Chains A and B, each alone.
Chain A
């Protein structure tokens, strides 16, 4: 890790975020910042609140308390045009790709270009093919999403996310449902993207290996709380039980009361 004489600039700032669905609160007082040019991995088990945090950072969900600032812009208070401008420089790769099922892969990737730019079709075509080559999807331009495998869908979704050369890239569960080999290839792709396009990347995942490979910093979520944030080495050395469990892949510690266990087993017996 290189030491900088100046503090890195903060691109995304999550302040005292509380968020939930109806009566159910999911996130408690989250404070998190994402620095310019870094790869931040948000890790946590199922039910830790990762997806909710991501939704809040994307402006898809309103917090019940607290703020999310992107480039200094408060997402809850931003005007439509400010939000639009922000979204054009933000790419999101969703789990499963989230490609529009009625368009071909090529048309899906071209969509942001066609909607937001005045570029001619030839230029758009070349840009699209560039990204497809980057994702090793060169032959898939005319296929429909239903004809792609899980890995290919993710890469296509990623291609669409980066077609406008965004400043910030979000990646939701890149490794979910992928075999280890494809997963590693995807990790390398993410690193390549950051280097080639100087992006700030936020990855949400629960895959340890991927996280350790790509992360500059890792933020660990458990039960809706931000347990700790730090570099890969710091996280590995962390003594907090929840973090340690996550790292060491130990099951949660559940004490079994013998009496209650027996009564649960025999409930309702005549």
Chain B
């Protein structure tokens, strides 16, 4: 019985240690943003990877999400005789919630997993030790460009998701359900206000930090994972990173919504 309690206490302490480690990690990464020389080449590479190459998946998922929303709302609104409101319903759901959240999930799946694995492999192959011994700050050279790239790319991706989602809703509303296109757009213009967009942008920045921080942090400390090594440890931290960032993101979504709605 006592053994169980001991174990519980130990794992709680472990969790606190991990949070502490990750916070220090974030601190050094942010500091690395301001150290010179700044890895501009690396930044470009990362924006291409995180942002540009996520475009296909964002366009597809945005389109389908918008279309499904339109179908869903049409069904509900038809029962109340207010199908004209569909434009505002679709756009509001996208801009306030689904845009930031779905974009974040897609990015976690694509970027979160591979970044975590990449950093973990670098750790396992002693590449960070090598950088340190070459007097190159690994936070400045490896982590900071990725953080900045995420902060730039993810809000942009979210905006693209929102837009293509609204378009998807338009396609369903106008071509499948026969609504007026101008009415659809007009309800959107009438309903959406700046604070909605602001919520979308704030959330996307918040999610960007969460995603890239957890992905890099978990990978960076892979050597501290007990009981595994090599390829297995990389797999394990990657899974942990994806799950942790998804859950943290959803929690942050709730907090942000309660402040901003």
**Whole-angstrom distance between the alpha carbons of A99 and B122 in the complex?**
9
**Whole-angstrom distance between the alpha carbons of A94 and B129 in the complex?**
9
The answer to whether the Cβ of A66 comes within 8 Å of any Cβ in the partner chain is no
The answer to whether the Cβ of B11 comes within 8 Å of any Cβ in the partner chain is no
Q: Is the CB of B125 within 8 A of A96?
A: yes
Given contacts A84-B135, A116-B135, contact A101 B121 (CB under 8 A): yes
**Whole-angstrom distance between the alpha carbons of A157 and B130 in the complex?**
10
**Whole-angstrom distance between the alpha carbons of A84 and B140 in the complex?**
15
The answer to whether the Cβ of A58 comes within 8 Å of any Cβ in the partner chain is yes
Residues of chain B within 8 A of A194, CB atoms compared: none
Which of chain B's residues 24-47 have a Cβ closer than 8 Å to chain A? Answer: 37, 45
Q: Is the CB of A90 within 8 A of B122?
A: no
Residues of chain A within 8 A of B130, CB atoms compared: 92, 94, 98-100, 157
Q: Mark A81-122, 1 if CB is under 8 A from B, else 0.
A: 001100110101011101111100000000110011000000
The answer to whether the Cβ of A60 comes within 8 Å of any Cβ in the partner chain is yes
In the complex, what residue of chain A is closest to B127 when comparing beta carbons?
A98
In the complex, what residue of chain A is closest to B134 when comparing beta carbons?
A112
Residues of chain B within 8 A of A115, CB atoms compared: 37, 134-136
Residues of chain B within 8 A of A60, CB atoms compared: 129, 132-133
Q: Is the CB of A87 within 8 A of B135?
A: yes
Q: What's the interface size class on B, roughly?
A: 10 to 19
Residues of chain B within 8 A of A87, CB atoms compared: 132-135
Residues of chain A within 8 A of B129, CB atoms compared: 55, 58, 60, 92, 94, 98
Q: Is the CB of A88 within 8 A of B132?
A: no
**Distance between B235 CB and nearest chain A CB, rounded to angstroms:** 17
Q: Mark B110-132, 1 if CB is under 8 A from A, else 0.
A: 00000000100110011101111
**Whole-angstrom distance between the alpha carbons of A100 and B122 in the complex?**
8
Q: Mark B76-94, 1 if CB is under 8 A from A, else 0.
A: 0000000000000000000
**Distance between B136 CB and nearest chain A CB, rounded to angstroms:** 5
Partner of A101, one of B122, B131, B134: B122
**Whole-angstrom distance between the alpha carbons of A249 and B187 in the complex?**
84
**Distance between A253 CB and nearest chain B CB, rounded to angstroms:** 30
In the complex, what residue of chain B is closest to A61 when comparing beta carbons?
B129
Partner of B133, one of A92, A100, A101, A116: A92
Q: Is the CB of B135 within 8 A of A95?
A: no
Chain A CB within 10 Å, residue with most, of B45, B131, B135: B135
Q: Is the CB of B134 within 8 A of A96?
A: no
Residues of chain A within 8 A of B136, CB atoms compared: 111-112, 115
Q: Is the CB of B135 within 8 A of A98?
A: no
**Whole-angstrom distance between the alpha carbons of A96 and B122 in the complex?**
12
Residues of chain A within 8 A of B45, CB atoms compared: 102
Which of chain B's residues 44-80 have a Cβ closer than 8 Å to chain A? Answer: 45
Partner of B127, one of A58, A90, A101, A116: A101
Nearest 5 interchain pairs by C-beta: A87-B135, A98-B130, A92-B133, A98-B126, A84-B135
On B, residues with C-beta under 8 Å from A are 37, 45, 118, 121-122, 125-127, 129-136
**17 residue pairs bridging A and B, Cβ less than 8 Å apart:** A60-B132, A87-B134, A87-B135, A88-B135, A92-B134, A94-B126, A94-B130, A95-B126, A96-B125, A96-B126, A98-B125, A99-B130, A100-B122, A101-B122, A101-B127, A116-B135, A157-B130
